[in-house]
């Protein structure tokens, strides 16, 4: 079978790898679709992010969906031929955090396509993948492309849970890429009354506007529009910081009202914080990292039509053009919200 393997920055290869057979409690998946994520782009463009660096070749990918082809012994909840969204999250369910229900903080996490541990955790961008049956959520009624969006949507549902009560709140989202835009959909579904999106690219801002943002602001060309929200100690109840950029975080904090909540999703490396503003306005800073229970919820929200991710799938390319998909996803000069790769 073919797999998409990163060796170093800008060294992406399609390589042959052996096909695995499912063991007890496992299923074999014929991969259908995989979405290129921001972390995949960090490995492709920079060889990693922050202190996380590639130290060996690694199969990329964790936003995937495919069809069940074989069942291992004891698997009774799935059938051959079913389309499933595959959760990349594989916690040990035995460490102290898993036992507290914090599987996303698992001490022994095996998350597809991650160079955080060494040896690296190989990813899911391959034609055939063997997974635990517990990773699979039946996605009948969805397209493979929609099913592959369950992972990024789960990230945003988890962030929305971290934000707390959303009904009637005024929300600011910095970073209008795929995660920021999915946070827009999640916050609106949770009851946000007003959502303002901020970015430095007009194309993604116009896209966010088309999906229901009440207002969009280009903070590079019109910084005064965002600064105006800082009057009288601020305006917004919740900040989703999705860019990982310190200037966006600082500007967002200025626009938050006293006792507002900051939810940090963007992973751009360590940033300095305006601690005086956080302290004097009694702001709450909450990290949001990955997800667990939200994965099945994401699939159900899409299946029921309560969240529509189809508009975000802007490019779909075959496996042979995988590197082109990475280049498209990296290009901020054009509207490339979510580039996906088809494996069959």
Strand (E) or helix (H) holding 59: strand 58-59
The residue extents of the domains of the chain are 2-149+309-342, 156-287
Mean pLDDT for 21-45 is: 96
3-state secondary structure of 21: coil
- Please give the Cα distance from 176 to 185 (Å, whole number): 12
Alpha helices, DSSP H, located in the chain: 38-46, 96-99, 144-148, 150-163, 178-189, 202-210, 223-227, 246-255, 275-280, 294-303, 322-330
Q: How many CA atoms lie less than 13 Å away from 213 in the CB half-sphere? A: 25
**Domain 2-149+309-342: CATH class, spelled out:** alpha beta
Claim: this prediction has a pTM higher than 0.85:
yes
CA-based nearest residue to 158, from 182, 192, 133, 194: 182
pLDDT digits (tens, 9 = 90+) for 207-228: 999 999 999 999 999 999 999 9
For the domain covering 156-287, report its CATH number.
3.40.50.720
Mean pLDDT for 123-129 is: 98
Mean pLDDT for 265-277 is: 86
- Is 156-287 in the same CATH topology as 2-149+309-342? no
CA-based nearest residue to 152, from 281, 38, 267: 38
**pLDDT given at position 272:** 87
pLDDT digits (tens, 9 = 90+) for 137-189: 999 999 999 999 999 999 999 999 999 999 999 999 999 999 999 999 999 99
Q: How many CA atoms lie less than 13 Å away from 304 in the CB half-sphere? A: 9
Please check whether residue 11 is in contact with residue 43, taking contact to mean a CB–CB distance below 8 angstroms: no
């Amino acid at each position: 079978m073919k797999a998409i393997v990163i060796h170093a920055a800008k060294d992406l290869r399609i390589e042959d790898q052996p096909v695995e057979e499912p063991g007890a409690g496992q299923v074999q998946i014929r991969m259908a679709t995989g979405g290129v994520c921001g972390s995949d782009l960090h490995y492709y463009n920079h060889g990693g992010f922050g202190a996380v660096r590639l130290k060996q070749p690694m199969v990329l990918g964790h936003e995937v969906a495919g069809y069940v082809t074989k069942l291992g012994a004891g698997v009774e909840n799935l059938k051959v031929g079913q389309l499933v969204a595959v959760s990349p999250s594989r916690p040990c369910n035995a460490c102290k955090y898993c036992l507290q229900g914090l599987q996303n903080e698992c001490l022994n996490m095996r998350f597809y396509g991650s160079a955080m541990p060494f040896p690296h955790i190989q990813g899911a961008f391959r034609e055939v993948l063997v997974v635990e049956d517990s990773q699979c959520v039946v996605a009948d009624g969805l397209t493979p492309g929609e099913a592959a969006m369950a992972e990024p949507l789960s990230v945003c549902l988890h962030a929305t849970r971290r934000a707390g009560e959303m009904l009637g709140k005024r929300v600011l989202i910095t970073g209008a890429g795929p995660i920021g835009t999915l946070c827009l959909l999640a916050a609106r579904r949770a009851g946000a009354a007003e959502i303002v999106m901020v970015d430095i690219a007009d194309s993604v801002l116009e896209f966010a506007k088309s999906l229901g943002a009440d207002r969009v602001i280009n903070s590079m060309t019109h910084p005064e529009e965002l600064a105006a929200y800082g009057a009288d100690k601020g305006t917004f109840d919740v900040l989703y910081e999705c860019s990982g950029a310190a200037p966006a975080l600082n500007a967002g904090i200025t626009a938050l009202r006293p006792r507002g909540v900051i939810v940090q999703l963007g992973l751009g490396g360590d940033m300095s914080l305006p601690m005086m503003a956080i302290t004097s306005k009694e702001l709450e800073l909450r990290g949001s990292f990955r997800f667990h229970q939200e994965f099945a919820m994401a699939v159900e929200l899409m299946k029921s039509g309560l969240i529509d991710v189809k508009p975000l799938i802007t490019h779909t390319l075959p496996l042979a053009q995988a590197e082109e998909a990475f280049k498209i996803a990296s290009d901020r000069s054009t509207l490339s919200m979510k580039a996906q790769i088809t494996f069959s």
